[in-house]
Amino acid sequence: MNLLDGLNEKQKEAVITTDRHLRVVAGAGSGKTRVITTRIAYLIEELGIAPYRILAITFTNKAANEMKVRVENILQVNRSGVMISTIHSLCVRILREEIRHFNYPQNFVILDSDDQKSILREIYKKLNVEIKTLSYAQALGYISNNKCAFIPAQKALDMVSYEFEKLMANVYLEYEKKLNDMQALDFDDLLIFVYRLFKENAEVREKWQDRYDYIHVDEFQDVDEIQYGIIKNITSPTAFLCVVGDPDQTIYTWRGAKVDIIMNFEKDFKGCESIILNENYRSTKSILQGTNTLIKHNQNRVDKDLFTNNEEDSKICFYESQDERYEALWIARKIVDLKAEGVPLHEIAILYRSNYLSRNLEKVLLDAHIPYRIYGGIKFFERAEIKDALSYLRLMITDSRSMSELAVKRILNVPKRGAGPKTMETLDLLAQANQEDYFDVLCNHAVAKGKTQKSIDEFVTLIQKYRIEQKEYAISIVLRKLLEDSGYFKMLEVANETERMENINELIHDIESYEENNPEGSLDDYLQMIALYTDTQDEEFNDSLQLMSVHAAKGLEFDCVFVYSVCEGIFPNERSVNEGGRHALEEERRLAYVAFTRAKKRLFLTSSAGYSYVTQRMKSASRFIKELGDDVLNKEGEVFTSYSEKPKSQSTQSRNVGGDGSTKMQMPTSKKKGSIRKGDLVTHEAFGDGVVISLKDGVATIAFDKRFGIKKLSATHRMISKK
C-alpha cells in the first residue's frame, strides 16, 4: 500500500515536500501529527533516509511514545531507530555526551522541584531568610526568570534596585553556587546549557548538526525562545526543518511560549513552504462547528476555516446538574452506558481544568467500579497533602497501632519540627522495646534533644488537645483547626503551594459533604470510608478510563470526551484570569478549544450549580458553553441519586446558560428541613454569629465573620442555633 493513500492533497504535499523547510499551520484534528509520522515513514521508505538521521520533537512523553508506535505501525518494524523525544529528553541526551565542556561529570545530577526546595531550605537557613518573607515559589520564579534571560546571579545582584530584589538576588547567588558545587542541573539548565553550548561552541554545534538531516517539531505554537534557539542551532545549513502547529492551541504563554515564533517562521527559514490544512478528520460536524464558533471569540488570532466530511454526527451534550455529586454521578452513568454500547474505556477521557477537581470524580468512579488512570498526575487520595491531612485526622483516633505508626511517621516532621532520620530511629526503637503505640511513645519518652524535643512536645500537646476537642466539633472543623494550629496551612501558604491548598480545601469540602449526608457519622466512620478509596489496590487494568488535566491532553484524541466542571470561575479559571491580565482569558479559551477538540465522536460537557468555595460564589455554567452556539448543543438535565438508577428527565427549555449565575433547576425536595430560615441570624459554636443566606436541601449557606467566610452547613447541625 502506498504511504500517501488516504491523505488529502495538502497533506500529501506536506509529506513529500522534503527539499526545503516546511511550516504546517492548521486547526485541531486536521492531521498535523499524522503528517509528521507519515513524513518520517516516507523519508525512510521512499527516499531511503537512514532512520537515525531523523529527529522528531514532541511536547510530552506520552505524545512521543504514540508517535513512535505510529511510525513503527506504518513501517511495520519494531524499532525504527528514529529519534523521537521531548526537548528535555533530547537535551539530557546531548548533555550526557557534551557536559565535559562545562567541566561537569558525565553522570551529572538532574534536580526536580523537590530537590530545588531542599536546596532553598538550606540557603534560607544560611542567609537567615524567613520563608514568610520570600516564598520558595517566588524565589524559584525569580531564579528561573533570570536564568532564562541569561542573567547570572552576580549580574542580577549588581542590577538590584530595591531591598527585596537584593534578597532574591542573594538567594539566587547562593543557589547558583550550590548547583555549581553539586555539579547539578535543574530543568531550566538542561535547556540553557544546550542553548549556550550550541551558541558558543561551533565544534559541538556542528557535530550535532551533522547528526540529523530531517528535523520535525510538533506543537510548535508552544515553543519558547530558548527552545527555538536550540532547534535553530541543531538544524544544519543543509538539513530541513518541518514544524507543525496551531496558534489557537497555544496554552503555555504563561511559561514563556511565544506564538510569534510560528507566525514569523519564514523570516528565519527563508524559502520555507507554508501549508495550511483545513479538513478536520477527528471530530463530528457539531463538535467542529461548536469549537470553531468558540475560538472565534478570541480577538487576537488569525481566522481559519475548518470543515469536515465526517458523516456521523451527534450534538455536543451539555448536562447541568444542581450539585456536583450528581454531576459526577451522571458522568459515571454515561460511561456505564457507553461501555455497554461497546466503547472501550481507554477511548473515554474525562478532562478537567485543575487537578483538585478529580476528587469528586474519583470517588464516584471507585464506587461504580470503573477502573481509571490519571495521566501526568497523582490520584487524589494519594497526593502528599491529602495523606498528611488524613494522618493528622487518624491521630485523633486512639486505638489502632499500625495506623498511628504510619501517621506519626508521616506528619511528625510536617511542618518541620527538626525530627530527622535519627529521631525516627529512636522512635522505632522505643516503640519496639516498650511495645508501645507510636503516639504514646511520643507522650511518654523523649526522642530528641533541645529545640527538636520542644517542638515535638508542642506537637504532642496539640494532638492531645484535639483528641478531646474532636468529640465536640464536626470533623471538618477539627481538621481545619488542626491544620491551622499545627502550622500546616502556614507551611503551604508561605511556600505559595496554591495547588496543594486547593486540594486540602477540596478534602475539607468532601468531609463537609459527608457530614451533611451522615449527620450521625463519626470520624472513625469517615476514615473507614476513605480507607476504601485509598486501599483499592492499583490493579493494572488493561482497559481503563483516562483522567487528566486539559494541559496533559494536548495532541491526544479519544472517541468520547467528558469535560467536567465547565463553570464560570473554574473554567475559565478565575485566578489565572485575575493574575494573567487581559490576554489570560483568551488563553483560557484556547485551553477550552484544546479540551473540546480532543473528542472524536461524542463530547459531553458538564457543570453544576451550588456554592463554590473556590470562587466563593454560586456556580453557573461557563461562558464557553454559550460560546459554542445553541444549535450544536443538546442540553440535558437529569436528577437521580445513583449511577445505576434510572434518571428522571426534566425539561431544559427554560434554563438559562451563561455567565450570569441565573441558572435554575428544580431541586429534589428534602425530607430534612432545618428550623432555621433564610435571613435568620444564627450562632455557630465554632464560627460565631452569621446570617443564613440560603437554604436548600437541608443545607444552609451561612455568611460568618470574615475570618471564616461563607460556609455550607447542615441546617440541623447541633452546632447551629437560632439567635
Known binding-site residues equal: 26-33
Q: Does 222 bind ligand ATP (CB under 6 A)?
A: no
Q: Does 33 bind Mg ion (CB under 5 A)?
A: yes
Residue set of the binding site for ATP: 26-33
Of 34, 216, 379, 712, the one binding ligand ATP by CB under 6 A: 34
* DSSP designation for 76: T
The pair phi, psi for residue 373, each rounded to 5°, is -125, 145
Q: Does 6 bind ligand ATP (CB under 6 A)?
A: yes
Q: Are 553 and 351 in contact (CB under 8 A)?
A: yes
Q: Tell me the C-alpha distance between 419 and 432, whole Å.
A: 19
Name the binder of 247 from ligand ATP, Mg ion, none, CB < 5-8 A by kind. Answer: none
Q: How far is the CB of 321 from ligand ATP (least distance, A)?
A: 29
Say which residues have a Cβ less than 8 Å from residue 369's Cβ, sequence separation at least 6. Answer: none
- Cα 425 → chain centroid: 36
Q: What count of residues does the chain have?
A: 723
Q: How far is the CB of 557 from ligand ATP (least distance, A)?
A: 6
3-state secondary structure of 348: strand
Q: How far is the CB of 7 from ligand ATP (least distance, A)?
A: 5
Site string for ligand ATP, 564-603 (x = CB under 6 A): ---------------------------------x------
587 labelled catalytic: no
Cell representation of residue 36: 509528521
Q: How far is the CB of 14 from Mg ion (least distance, A)?
A: 13
Instruction: Describe the chain by its helix, strand, coil percentages, rounded to 5.
Output: 50, 15, 35
Of 3, 10, 21, 31, the one binding ligand ATP by CB under 6 A: 31
- Cα 313 → chain centroid: 31
Whether residue 415 is preceded by a cis peptide bond, meaning omega within 30 degrees of 0, is yes
Q: Does 60 bind Mg ion (CB under 5 A)?
A: no
The kind and range of the H/E element at 57 are strand 54-58
218 labelled catalytic: yes
Cell representation of residue 384: 502528599
Q: Which stretch binds ligand ATP (CB under 6 A): 25-33, 601-609, 681-689, 698-706?
A: 25-33
502 labelled catalytic: no
Site string for Mg ion, 521-560 (x = CB under 5 A): ----------------------------------x-----
What is the number of the residue whose Cβ is closest to ligand ATP?
31
For ligand ATP, how many residues bind (rule: CB under 6 A)?
A: 19
For Mg ion, how many residues bind (rule: CB under 5 A)?
A: 3
* DSSP designation for 567: B
Of 29, 290, 415, 487, the one binding ligand ATP by CB under 6 A: 29
- Cα 298 → chain centroid: 24
Q: Does 512 bind ligand ATP (CB under 6 A)?
A: no
Of 362, 557, 586, 588, the one binding ligand ATP by CB under 6 A: 557
Q: Tell me the C-alpha distance between 376 and 360, whole Å.
A: 18
The kind and range of the H/E element at 83 are strand 83-86
Q: Does 29 bind Mg ion (CB under 5 A)?
A: no
Q: How far is the CB of 249 from ligand ATP (least distance, A)?
A: 6
Of 17, 30, 404, 573, the one binding ligand ATP by CB under 6 A: 30
- The closest alpha carbon to 642, from 195, 202, 336, belongs to 336
Q: How far is the CB of 24 from ligand ATP (least distance, A)?
A: 8
Q: Which stretch binds ligand ATP (CB under 6 A): 2-10, 52-60, 181-189, 380-388?
A: 2-10
Q: Tell me the C-alpha distance between 236 and 113, whole Å.
A: 34
Helix axes 225-234, 187-200, angle to 10 degrees: 40
Q: Tell me the C-alpha distance between 644 and 630, whole Å.
A: 30
Q: Does 8 bind ligand ATP (CB under 6 A)?
A: yes
Tracing cell 534560607 back to the chain, one arrives at 124
Q: Tell me the C-alpha distance between 278 and 10, whole Å.
A: 9
- The closest alpha carbon to 216, from 46, 3, 68, belongs to 68
Q: Which is nearer to Mg ion, 33 or 291 (CB)?
A: 33
Q: Which of 98, 186, 213, 218 is catalytic?
A: 218
Q: Does 28 bind ligand ATP (CB under 6 A)?
A: yes
Q: Does 248 bind ligand ATP (CB under 6 A)?
A: no
Q: How far is the CB of 352 from Mg ion (least distance, A)?
A: 21
Of 10, 11, 285, 323, the one binding ligand ATP by CB under 6 A: 11
Q: Which is nearer to Mg ion, 86 or 652 (CB)?
A: 86
Q: How far is the CB of 245 from Mg ion (least distance, A)?
A: 9
Q: Which of 32, 62, 417, 589 is catalytic?
A: 32
- The closest alpha carbon to 330, from 106, 636, 4, belongs to 636
Q: Which of 17, 249, 291, 597 is catalytic?
A: 249
Q: How far is the CB of 32 from ligand ATP (least distance, A)?
A: 3
Of 98, 174, 189, 246, the one binding ligand ATP by CB under 6 A: 246
What type of residue sits at position 347?
E
Q: Are 351 and 563 in contact (CB under 8 A)?
A: yes
Of 3, 7, 217, 338, the one binding ligand ATP by CB under 6 A: 7
Q: Does 489 bind ligand ATP (CB under 6 A)?
A: no
What is the number of the residue whose Cβ is closest to Mg ion?
33
Angle at 186 between CA 185 and CA 192, to 5 degrees: 80
The pair phi, psi for residue 247, each rounded to 5°, is -55, -30
CB atoms within 10 A of CB 58: 25
Residues 57-76 within binding reach of ligand ATP (CB under 6 A): none
289 labelled catalytic: no
539 labelled catalytic: no
Q: How far is the CB of 586 from Mg ion (least distance, A)?
A: 21
Cell representation of residue 482: 488542626
Site string for ligand ATP, 274-293 (x = CB under 6 A): -------xx-----------
Q: Does 250 bind ligand ATP (CB under 6 A)?
A: no
Largest pairwise CA distance in the chain: 85
* DSSP designation for 418: S
SS (H, E, C) 618-679: ECCECHHHHCCCHHHEEEECEECCCCCCCCEECCCCCCCCCCCCCCCCCCCCCCCCCCCCCC
CA dihedral 117, 351, 665, 573 (to 10 degrees): 40
315 labelled catalytic: no
Q: Which is nearer to ligand ATP, 21 or 32 (CB)?
A: 32
Q: Which is nearer to ligand ATP, 223 or 483 (CB)?
A: 223
Say which residues have a Cβ less than 8 Å from residue 36's Cβ, sequence separation at least 6. Answer: 56, 67, 216, 218, 242, 244
Q: Which of 189, 219, 512, 680 is catalytic?
A: 219
Q: Which of 33, 37, 470, 606 is catalytic?
A: 33
Tracing cell 493528622 back to the chain, one arrives at 392
Summarize as ranges the residues that interact with ligand ATP (CB under 6 A): 6-8, 11, 26, 28-34, 246, 249, 281-282, 555, 557, 597
Summarize as ranges the residues that interact with Mg ion (CB under 5 A): 32-33, 555
Where in the sequence numbering do the catalytic residues fall? Answer: 32-33, 218-219, 249, 598
